[in-house]
Chains A and B, each alone.
Chain A
Amino acid sequence: MNGDGSGAPVVTESKLKSLSRTLRTWISEILSYGTGKVGLVLLIVFVVTSIVALVTLPPDYRYMWNNPKYWQDYPQLAPPEWIRALGYQNAKHEVTTYDSPTSVKTGDFKIFKYVMYYDLDVKDYPQNIVFKLQGVKVPIVNNIVAPIIIKAYVERSDKITIRVLDRTLHLPPNTTVAYVTEPLMISADRNLIITEISTKMLKGAEVTLNPVVAINYLFSKIRVVNASVIETEPLEGHYKVVLELYYPSVVKISNPVEKVSIVVVGNCYGYMGTDNRGRDIAQALLYGFPVALAIGFVTAIASTLIGLFVGAISAYYGGLIDELLQRVIDVMGNIPLLPFLILLVNITPVEYRLQVIMTVLIVFYWGGLAIVVRSMTLSIKEEAYVEAARAIGASNARILLRHIIPQIIPYAVASLVFSVPGAILSEAGLSVLGLEHGWPTWGKVLSAARLSGRYDAWWWVLPPGILLALMSLTFVLLGMAIETIVEPRLRTR
């Protein structure tokens, strides 16, 4: 038939038509069940979200996720921003970005000044102040790289000015290039804040301040109770954060930094909050969509195909092949899967672990389907039309592919849909157990919450679990709808 040039397109077209008709009947049948409707809608949502994730997140996101450098200007263990609307007292997170300095002053130095306003409207302390410089220009005086002085201060709502940064920066000659991709991040100097607070606000009281909570002092009213005890209380109002860059005045630079961000790191972040390393949970969960779907579908499709063909071949040919395949399935069925999987994953180098999980699951999942397919094939192969096909000289392969396997495909599809969540949940389980595989998945997010022991961070524990449950519920519902279609005995109407 392949050589028949004029016939081939017609055949393909009619095949396509019949395929699309079958698909359409299937979908309308699925939609006629309530469970099927919900399942199909959820599946579409999952697929669309995966595409959005693949388009919006950078391709090397998994390395960013594991690199603490990218998360320095995020609040740590912060709930989502919208809880402020519910009346929770969480200081807001604010980022102001500048392309050019607010003002320039020339004297002994050329001083570039960036001013940011922050409004503390709740009884809470921000976590930090971070200055993020991207593309810093290097002053070169007489062919020598001159140092830059970076100073910053906060003007509080009670008009007390506290210096938070005073540092000389020695840049390598090619800094402009190097910092374009990797911004220079500078946090407020906690020891400097402590010194400033004790001289300007405590005025000689002999109190030892703890640098760990220096940022709290910066944003609080401090009351000295007695010689060694102080009480702090958040000071609401308008704050002014000023960053100054001191360049030698001989240097001809009008805009020293391509992009400057002043970040007042609040106590809440984004739509879904952050984890204990400041990582944005919403991003990880978004990235988890395509990873989960890929793990689930690859494993389910591969094991279903193997099960379908092995089962059909085993029953069709019978004899020694059948006996051998059945024994293999028997033995595999008695191997405890989870312990075996954990053992294998544990001895695998981290970068191959996800692939090993998928391979092991494929190897273990096909047996169940193969047994069902085998028993179905045994009865189909006795049908008159199979005998007729054999009588007119059809080859074994043709009988299998054209007459037997198409009969079984609906069951195989149901089994495929049911087996999708298995791999996703296995991956999540292994992650929760503490087996690293380097990919930000829903299980990985949960595992980080578990290992840090913070079950109380609901924005960290609930969403990944709910997503996992929704994902498997989707396929359970779809599978139930498909099962009722292919097995009319299960119908309730």
Chain B
Amino acid sequence: MGVGTVLARRAVALAVALVLVVVLTAIIMGASGYDKTIWQALIHEQVRAYQMSLRQSNVPPGRVRELVAEYKEELTKIYGLDKPWYQRFGPLVVNTLTFNLGISESYDVANVAGVPYPVRVGDAIMLCLPRTIVMITIAQAICAVIALRVGPLIAYKRGTLFDRSIVFYAALTNAIPVWWLGMLLIYLLSYRAGFFPTNFRSVIAYINTFWENPGANFVNILYYASLPIITIVIAFLGSWFYSVRAMVLRIVREYFVMVARAKGLPEKYIVSKHVLRAAAPPVVTNVILSLAGSLGGYIITESVFNWPGMGTLYWVAIRSADLPTILGLTYMLTLVYIIARFILEVLYILLDPRVRY
């Protein structure tokens, strides 16, 4: 099998997954009737308000009933509830897949984005993405940098107290839920000590108007983002250490490292030219996938910090059954993830000569 065939097969699998995720999401929302219940409640509310206003302007009762029925029918048509769900969702899915993300129908989504209603789904995503990058992607990048510097050292000090305590730290942080750590740190460092803010929502203003006054806004963003970043770094650094250590350990025992050592090469040279070079593919996988995955935001952690990022946007969209936003977000995030997976496939071939079929 040539390299081209392998890559083509992977690409097809990834594309199928992408389309399947979007279609499945639409089917779940439609077939369960979840969005219909929410829209009907909304229509009911509007019809009642209309009825009240008619009564107050002294319209005769018989006429009111007629007008209300008409209005209800009109609304049902506007929201498309007179058609079965697959007819409503079909065009939406096609539009989403062709990057025509449409307009959000939810006030809450506009609220999270921090702009007046209604908001285009694309705009909402573009507003929330930098906030998630500021919090989660940066935290993961910090973890990656520290782990790549320290990880190989741990592997070399295997069995020492240092190594054991790192392994224990990894096991401990693996067990502690990051959102619970967030709750604790918010209480201890924000409420008790007052080092950090208690209301993280306010970061919206500084990020949305960043370019008007970059210096001051940067400081403010730092003030809001540091506690979430600290929390995530504490929670994830352990597993980063553990996985880098495991990868290096596997390679240190390979024959070519032994040969290099037998040749009398300096240890520093062995680490950088032999060990790290060979450990590159799995390490790169780890880094790229966690960075790509972080763009989707950590829904629960963001919600604990009340952080207006991608995770919160998705949660709010689900709560208000805002299909354009749900589909748009699902599509964009899965797309990013799948592109990252594909880049990895290519990188593998470049980094590991053994994968050149």
Task: List residues of chain A with CB under 8 Å of any chain B CB.
Answer: 35, 327, 330-331, 333-336, 338-340, 342-344, 346-347, 421, 425, 428-430, 432-434, 446, 449-450, 455-456, 461-462, 465, 468-473, 476-477, 480, 489, 492-493
In contact, B191 and A456 (Cβ under 8 angstroms): yes
Task: Check A476 against B180 for contact (C-beta < 8 Å).
Answer: no
The 9 A-B pairs at the shortest CB distance, nearest first, are namely A334-B17, A473-B175, A455-B187, A347-B34, A472-B175, A465-B180, A331-B17, A347-B32, A469-B176
Establish whether residues B300 and A432, one from each chain, have CB atoms under 8 Å apart when the complex forms: yes
A193 to chain B, nearest CB (A): 34
- Residue in A35, A327, A462, A469 whose Cβ sees the most chain B Cβ within 10 Å: A469
Contacts of B194 in A (CB 8 A): none
Partner of A421, one of B25, B175, B184, B314: B175
Contact among B183, B329, B330, B338 with A450 in the assembled complex (CB-CB below 8 Å): B183
Query: When the two chains form their complex, are residues A433 and B303 in contact, meaning their CB atoms are under 8 A apart?
Result: yes
Identify which of residues 315-353 in chain B touch chain A, using a CB-to-CB cut-off of 8 Å: 315, 318-319, 326, 329-330, 333-334, 337-338, 341
**B183 with A429: CB separation less than 8 A:** no
Judge whether B40 is part of the interface by a CB distance below 8 angstroms: no
- The winner among A333, A455, A470 for most chain B CB atoms within 10 A is A455
Which of chain A's residues have a CB closer than 8 A to the CB of B20?
Answer: 331, 335
Contact in complex: B176, A450 (CB < 8 Å): no
From B16, B29, B303, B326, give the contact of A331 (CB < 8 A).
Answer: B16
- Residue B180 contacts which of A335, A347, A469 (CB distance < 8 angstroms)? A469
A-B contact pairs, 13 of them (CB 8 A): A327-B16, A331-B20, A334-B17, A334-B341, A336-B334, A338-B300, A339-B296, A339-B333, A342-B299, A344-B28, A465-B180, A469-B175, A473-B172
Can you name the residue of chain A whose Cβ is closest to the Cβ of B168? A35
> In the complex the two chains form, what is the Cα distance from A421 to B334 in whole Å?
26
B171 interface hit (Cβ, 8 Å): yes
Query: Which of the listed residues B20, B28, B171, B175 has the most CB atoms from chain A within 10 Å of its own CB?
Result: B175
Within 8 Å by CB of A336, from B16, B296, B303, B304, lies B296
Cβ–Cβ < 8 Å partners of B326 in chain A: 343
Main DSSP-derived SS at the B contact region = helix
Contact between A465 and B183, CB atoms less than 8 A apart: yes
List 5 other contacts, CB 8 Å, given A336-B333, A433-B300.
A327-B13, A331-B17, A342-B299, A343-B29, A493-B159
- The interface centre, meaning the residue of A338, A347, A468 with most chain B CB atoms within 10 A of its CB, is A347
Within 8 A of A (CB), among B291-315: 296, 299-300, 303-304, 314-315
Q: Does B44 contact A (CB under 8 A)?
A: no
CA distance A344 to B17 in the complex (A): 18
- Given A461-B184, A477-B171: A339 and B330 interface contact (C-beta under 8 Å): yes
CB contacts (< 8 Å) of B315 on chain A: these are: 342, 433
Across-interface contacts of B158 in A (CB, < 8 A): 492
In whole Å, how far is B292's beta carbon from the nearest beta carbon of chain A? Answer: 11
Chain B residues lying within 8 Å of A338, measured Cβ to Cβ, are 299-300
Let me know if A468 and B177 touch, CB within 8 A: yes
Is there an interface contact between B177 and A428, defined as CB atoms closer than 8 Å?
yes
- Bound complex: CA A347 to CA B318 (Å): 9
Beta-carbon nearest neighbor of A477 in chain B: B171
The reply on B21 being an interface residue by CB < 8 A is: yes
The contact of A432 among B176, B179, B186, B341, by CB within 8 Å, is: B179
A346, B175: Cβ atoms closer than 8 Å: no
Q: Which residues of A contact B186 (CB under 8 A)?
A: 455
Interchain nearest-CB distance for A285 vs B (Å): 14
Q: A343-B28, A346-B34, A472-B174 are in contact. Are A334 and B18 (CB under 8 A)?
A: yes
**Secondary structure dominating the interface of A:** helix
Known contacts: A347-B28, A450-B304. The answer to whether A425 contacts B177 by CB under 8 A is yes
Asked if B115 lies at the interface with its beta carbon under 8 angstroms from chain A, I say no
| B121–chain A nearest beta-carbon distance, Å | 15
> Is the Cβ of A476 less than 8 Å from the Cβ of B171?
yes
B138 at the interface (CB under 8 A from A): no
* Interface contact A432-B13, CB-CB below 8 Å: no
**Inter-chain contact A456/B187, CB cutoff 8 Å:** yes
How far does the Cβ of B172 sit from chain A's closest Cβ, in whole Å?
7
Question: Which size class do B's interface residues fall under?
Answer: 35 or more
B333–A343 touching, CB < 8 Å? no
Residue from the list A334, A432, A470 in contact with B304, Cβ < 8 A: A432
B21 touches A343 (CB 8 A): no
Residues in chain A near residue B166, CB distance under 8 A = none
A200 to chain B, nearest CB (A): 42
In the complex, which of the residues A327, A336, A450, A471 contacts B21, with contact meaning CB atoms closer than 8 Å? Answer: A336
Is there contact, CB below 8 Å, between B14 and A334?
A: yes
A371 to B176, CA, bound (A): 28
Closest partner residue, chain B, to A39 (CB atom): B171
With A and B bound together, what is the CA distance between A336 and B330 in angstroms? 8
Are the CB atoms of B21 and A455 closer together than 8 Å? no
Chain B 5-43 interface 0/1 with A at a Cβ cutoff of 8 Å (1 = within):
000000001101110110011001100101000000000
Q: Do the beta carbons of B334 and A468 come within 8 Å of each other?
A: no
Instruction: Determine the chain A residues whose CB is within 8 A of the CB of B171 once the complex forms.
Output: 35, 473, 476-477, 480
Contacts A347-B28, A433-B299; A461 near B187 (Cβ below 8 A): yes
Residues of B within 8 A of A331 (CB): 13, 16-17, 20
Q: How far is the CA of A489 from the CA of B250 in the complex (A)?
A: 9
Query: Which one of A343, A421, A425, A432 has the highest number of Cβ atoms from chain B below 10 Å of its Cβ?
Result: A343
Q: Which of B191, B319, B337 contacts A334 (CB 8 A)?
A: B337
Residues of B within 8 A of A333 (CB): 17
Closest to A458 in B: B187
B341 touches A429 (CB 8 A): no
CB neighbours (8 Å) of B21 from chain A are: 334-336, 340
Q: Which of B169-201 contact A (CB under 8 A)?
A: 171-172, 174-177, 179-180, 183-184, 186-187, 191
Q: Which B residues, 130 to 177, have Cβ-Cβ distances below 8 Å to chain A?
A: 158-159, 171-172, 174-177
B34 partner residues in chain A, CB cutoff 8 A:
346-347
**B337 proximity list for chain A (CB < 8 A):** 334, 336
A330 near B28 (CB under 8 angstroms)?
Answer: no
Docked Cα-Cα span, A130 to B252, in Å, equals 71
Max chain B CB contacts within 10 Å: which of A429, A446, A472, A473? A429
Is B175 in contact with A476, judged by CB distance below 8 angstroms? yes
In the bound complex, CA of A468 to CA of B300 (Å): 16
B338: chain A residues within 8 A (beta carbon) = 334
Contacting residue for A343 out of B177, B253, B303, B318, CB 8 A:
B318
A292 to chain B, nearest CB (A): 13
In the complex, which residue of chain B has the Cβ closest to the Cβ of A474?
Answer: B175
How far does the alpha carbon of A433 sit from the alpha carbon of B300 in the complex, in Å? Answer: 6
What is the minimal beta-carbon distance from A448 to any residue of chain B, in angstroms? 12
B318 and A346 form a contact (CB under 8 A): yes
Q: Are B179 and A334 in contact (CB under 8 A)?
A: no
- CB-based nearest B residue for A428: B177
Query: Are B174 and A476 closer than 8 Å at their CB atoms?
Result: yes
Chain A residues with Cβ below 8 Å from B183 are 446, 449-450, 455, 461, 465
Distance between Cα atoms of A209 and B315 in the complex (Å): 45
Cα of A470 to Cα of B326 in the assembled complex, Å? 35
How far apart are B201's CB and chain A's nearest CB, in angstroms? 14
Q: Which chain B residue has the least Cβ–Cβ distance from A347? A: B34
B176 / chain A contacts, CB cutoff of 8 Å: 465, 468-469
- Note all chain A residues with C-beta closer than 8 A to B18: 334
Which of A346, A430, A477: most chain B Cβ within 10 A?
A: A346
* Alpha-carbon distance between A388 and B334 when the two chains are bound, in angstroms: 47
Which residues in B have their C-beta under 8 angstroms from that of A425? Answer: 177
CA distance A450 to B303 in the complex (A): 10
The 8 A CB mask of B41-54 against A (1 = contact, 0 = none) is 00000000000000
Query: Which residues in A have their C-beta under 8 angstroms from that of B300?
Result: 338, 429-430, 432-433
